[in-house]
Amino acid sequence: MAAEWICRALRDGALAGEHAPALTIKDSITSPLGFDVFAHVLSQHSTNISAGKSQSRGLVLVAFCRSPSFYLDLLNKRGLDTASSHQWIRILDCYTDPLGWKDRLAESASATKLSHEGLNMASIRGNVKDIDSVYSSIISLGKGFVEQGNVRFCVAIDSVNEMLRYASLSSVAGLISSLRCCDQISSVFWFYHADLCEERVTAVLDYMSTMAASIEPLIQFANRQRSNSENLSLLDQNFTRGKLHLRCKRRNGRVRVMFEDIHIGQSGINFTSASCEDGVINQGLLPKVQFNLQLSEKELKDRAKVVLPFEHQGNGKPVQIYDGRKSLTDGKYEIAPVSTGISDTDKESSKGEIIYFRDSEDEMPDSDEDPDDDLDI
Amino acid sequence: MEIRGLLDEALGLQHLSGRVVLLEDCVETSAAFVLHHLLKRSLSQPLHSSNVVVFIAFAQPLSHYDRILRKLGCNLAAQRDNSKFFFFDMLMDCPDEDNGKGGDGGLVSLYGKILKTMSALPQVNKNCVTVMIDDVSLMEVAARGSTNLVLDFLHYCHTLVSEFGCSLVMLNHEDIYSGMVSPTLILQMKYLADILIKAEPLATGLASDVHGQLTVVNRSIVDGERSRNKPCNFHFKVKENSVEYFYPGSRT
């Protein structure tokens, strides 16, 4: 449900007079499935766009950590027609040569220059550190879709981490917020690894997004320092399974939280509702022991029925609590439950009770009491 | 051949093309033998006779690797003469003198050399190249402690992987980052890697006939689908000219 919700929100886009909705996708090394979720959202949204179902007419993908051809392959594999892709996707290539090393080397050695520029690509060579130029490239790529004033496009950024390596947090935050303000943009989404950034970076990015999807491991490692080798099956689980935790902020300030399980199988990524998650996780966490740590419902009921010794609540008799000292006079109370108990068990067989026979008059009071504590010696 | 070993099984039989492999070790247990193994495997597999290795050495001189590989049955000098083994000795050419521009620790020019080497190869060899880095922590030293610069270099190496379909093998030590608040370099490398091979001592301490344990996590994607390779863990014993791999408890 959460994943569908995300795709719907991106599809519906921005309302007039509001900032564009923004989605953060983040993960950490214990459950590194964030990129799969990003790829899922990307392909779902692309499907919507190419089918004309979305508010946005095109998608500008800012590629920092994968090559443009990787993304075209990915979309092709998800059944999108990349031949007509130039009508709805443009890729800003910040991957191939972000710092201009290749250009610099090509100049000095006059080697053949590799060119990726095609119909739907643009690349930034050497000046990725200049966030303003990234912004203007995004806008000018998007303008390709936007002939009339009221058509919008969507922006996807595949790694905010890389961007943060090249530029300061404030300039990255500035880029994102100016993208959200832009009239021609219908939605923005981005992905990053949360454990590579400081906490304040995570907080800033969360504040700027209307939806924050974080991927968490199903089972947390009890001890981070513990070597993987001892938790091989856990490790394996965390590479294929995870929990999608989605927090959406409504316009009125209400925050809604949703959970969903992620499973990555041979056929791709699956989302299932996480209704039974707690039970499953708890069962998974409990060590296998030969005795029960918890009571069944029947056992709980039976336990509630047990009448504790010397406490006859609710049956009209005075409440008598055994203090270890009562003797002869109480004899009848000690015997009584036995005689009545037998007849009672016929009537209500499920009633439990504790039968206590005092062995002899010599029985000592409870061991923690000092029998002589009232003596003044 | 039975000697194939659990390591090769865990890595899969195909060439590692298009993969990034991270070897992670610690003071007690060195993963250098895995590097030697991969070097030998890349050079001597008859299946892939067009294999080429580009070796970037920050840690040891050529003679060191030559001596070890000869024991493993692989002649580096001959391979180098056949243009199948390219060795960049970063100990010898001091980056400061080499590059007057300064500031980049010679990494830009190193990248230029790798690119030039790879571009000059015949087409058959291009996607069978393995780039090996021994080791990244010393590269960081050469970059004068600039993690960002190392990451930039690794990013450019990654572009080689996606452009040429070559493979990248890098070694780093985990424990030197253990005390840091945000161990970003090793974490970044883990994110970059498709295959993680971790060498660590036995949890139970030292043993005379077991030298440590290897954990191989292979999360590479084969043909768009996640491969079935489960993470695996086994023990090893490094011998004079071979390494024995075995499952825990399978040796008496």
pLDDT tens digits for range A302-319: 888 887 765 555 666 666
> Cβ A32–B116 below 8 Å, yes or no?
no
Q: Which domains does chain A have, with CATH numbers?
A: 2-221+229-285 (3.40.50.300), 296-377 (no CATH)
Q: Which of A324, A361, A317, A371 is nearest to A340 (CA)?
A: A317
Res. B82: pLDDT tops 60: yes
Contact A145, A54 (CB under 8 A): no
pLDDT grade, residue B132 (50/70/90)? very high
What would the mean pLDDT of A1-17 be, rounded to a whole number? Answer: 86
What would the mean pLDDT of A157-162 be, rounded to a whole number? Answer: 92
> Cβ A66–B162 below 8 Å, yes or no?
yes
Dihedral sign for Cα atoms in the order A124, A128, A134, A138: positive
DSSP state of A31: B
At residue A332, the 3 state secondary structure works out as helix
> Cβ A109–B116 below 8 Å, yes or no?
yes
What would the mean pLDDT of A12-24 be, rounded to a whole number? Answer: 89
**Alpha-carbon distance values, A8 to A44, A187, A194 (Å):** 10, 11, 25
Res. A169: pLDDT tops 60: yes
* DSSP helix, strand, coil percent of chain B (3-state; round to 5): 40, 25, 35
From chain B, the residues in CB contact with A64 under 8 A are: none
pLDDT grade, residue A359 (50/70/90)? low
What confidence score (pLDDT) does residue B152 get? Answer: 92
Closest residue in A to B228 (Cα–Cα): A266
What confidence score (pLDDT) does residue A119 get? Answer: 56
Who wins on pLDDT, B105 or B8?
Answer: B8
What confidence score (pLDDT) does residue A240 get? Answer: 82
What would the mean pLDDT of B156-160 be, rounded to a whole number? Answer: 92
Minimal C-alpha gap between A324 and chain B (Å): 53
From chain B, the residues in CB contact with A202 under 8 A are: none
Q: Residue A280: is it exposed, middle or buried by C-beta count within 10 angstroms (0-12/13-18/19+)?
A: middle
Q: Which amino acid is at A284?
A: G
Q: Which domains does chain B have, with CATH numbers?
A: 2-246 (3.40.50.300)
What confidence score (pLDDT) does residue A342 get? Answer: 43
- A101 closest CB neighbour out of B108, B198, B224: B108
Rounded-to-integer distance, Cα A133 and Cα A179, Å:
13
Res. A326: pLDDT tops 60: no
Contact B210, B232 (CB under 8 A): no
What confidence score (pLDDT) does residue B209 get? Answer: 84
Rg over CA atoms, chain A: 34
Minimal C-alpha gap between B113 and chain A (Å): 9
pLDDT grade, residue B203 (50/70/90)? confident
What would the mean pLDDT of B56-62 be, rounded to a whole number? Answer: 91
**Alpha-carbon distance values, A212 to A56, A256, A316, B232 (Å):** 21, 11, 61, 34
Instruction: Average the pLDDT over each of A102-111, B76-85, B151-160 and give the range with the smallest value.
Output: A102-111
| A113 and chain B in contact, CB less than 8 A | no
What would the mean pLDDT of B209-220 be, rounded to a whole number? Answer: 85
pLDDT grade, residue A298 (50/70/90)? confident
Contact B53, B85 (CB under 8 A): yes
Res. B50: pLDDT tops 90: no
> Cβ A235–B155 below 8 Å, yes or no?
no
What confidence score (pLDDT) does residue B96 get? Answer: 52
From chain A, the residues in CB contact with B116 under 8 A are: 105, 109, 111
What would the mean pLDDT of A256-273 be, rounded to a whole number? Answer: 84
What confidence score (pLDDT) does residue A340 get? Answer: 44
> Cβ A229–B152 below 8 Å, yes or no?
no
The DSSP element (H or E) to which B125 belongs, if any, is: helix B123-126
Res. A334: pLDDT tops 50: no
- A227 closest CB neighbour out of B116, B203, B228: B203
What confidence score (pLDDT) does residue A112 get? Answer: 43
What confidence score (pLDDT) does residue A365 get? Answer: 58
pLDDT grade, residue A210 (50/70/90)? very high
Supply angle C-alpha A33, A37, A41, rounded to 5: 170
- What contacts A106, CB < 8 A, 6 or more positions away? A112, A113
From chain A, the residues in CB contact with B111 under 8 A are: 101, 105
Contact A319, A312 (CB under 8 A): yes
pLDDT grade, residue A267 (50/70/90)? confident
Res. B19: pLDDT tops 80: yes
What confidence score (pLDDT) does residue A336 get? Answer: 46
What confidence score (pLDDT) does residue A22 get? Answer: 93
Instruction: Average the pLDDT over each of A146-160, B40-54, B62-76 and give the range with the smallest value.
Output: B40-54
Instruction: Average the pLDDT over each of A53-67, A341-355, B48-62, B149-163 and give the range with the smallest value.
Output: A341-355
Instruction: Average the pLDDT over each of A217-221, A368-372, B97-101 and give the range with the smallest value.
Output: B97-101
| A196 and chain B in contact, CB less than 8 A | yes
What confidence score (pLDDT) does residue B121 get? Answer: 87
Q: What is the mean pLDDT of chain A?
A: 78
Who wins on pLDDT, A275 or A98?
Answer: A98
Q: Which of A308, A5, A10 is nearest to A188 (CA)?
A: A10
Q: How many CA atoms lie within 13 A of B112 on its CB side?
A: 19
Res. B56: pLDDT tops 50: yes
Write down how long chain B is.
Answer: 252
Q: Which of A142, A96, A131, A140 is nearest to A115 (CA)?
A: A96
Q: Residue A360: is it exposed, middle or buried by C-beta count within 10 angstroms (0-12/13-18/19+)?
A: exposed
What confidence score (pLDDT) does residue A367 get? Answer: 63
Beta strand segments in chain B, E: 20-25, 52-57, 85-89, 129-134, 167-173, 195-200, 212-218, 221-222, 225-226, 232-238, 243-246
* DSSP helix, strand, coil percent of chain A (3-state; round to 5): 40, 20, 40
pLDDT grade, residue A113 (50/70/90)? very low
Contact A124, A133 (CB under 8 A): yes
- B231 closest CB neighbour out of A111, A195, A235: A235
DSSP state of B17: T
- Furthest-apart CA pair in chain A: how many Å? 113
